[in-house]
Amino acid sequence: MRPDEALKQIEIEYLRASDIYPDLHSNHEAYAVIKEEVDELWDAIKKHKGIKGNKEIKAELIQVGAMVVRYLNNLC
């Protein structure tokens, strides 16, 4: 995936999540949300050991990126 495509997917997920969920209100909350997404990424990685280009892993990475952008936007 090209960097511009990856960033576009993160933007789409960021906008979707921002429409569904309220803004993050604290550093602790933002950390917890990102940690939850990273934990889901780790579960997908363990589930698909040795598989490159997996759609589930890609989706989780996009969600991690989107939550980082939400943190930046809401609290920084």
Cα–Cα dist 2/16, whole Å: 21
pLDDT tier, 71 (very low <50, low <70, confident <90, very high otherwise): very high
The reply to whether the predicted model has a pTM over 0.85 is yes
Q: Is the dihedral of CA 13, 18, 22, 26 positive or negative?
A: positive
pLDDT at residue 65, rounded to an integer? 98
Evaluate whether 53 touches 9 at the Cβ level (below 8 Å).
Answer: no
pLDDT digits (tens, 9 = 90+) for 5-55: 999 999 999 999 999 999 999 999 999 999 999 999 999 999 998 888 799
Evaluate whether 17 touches 64 at the Cβ level (below 8 Å).
Answer: no
pLDDT at residue 51, rounded to an integer? 80
Q: Which amino acid is at 8?
A: K
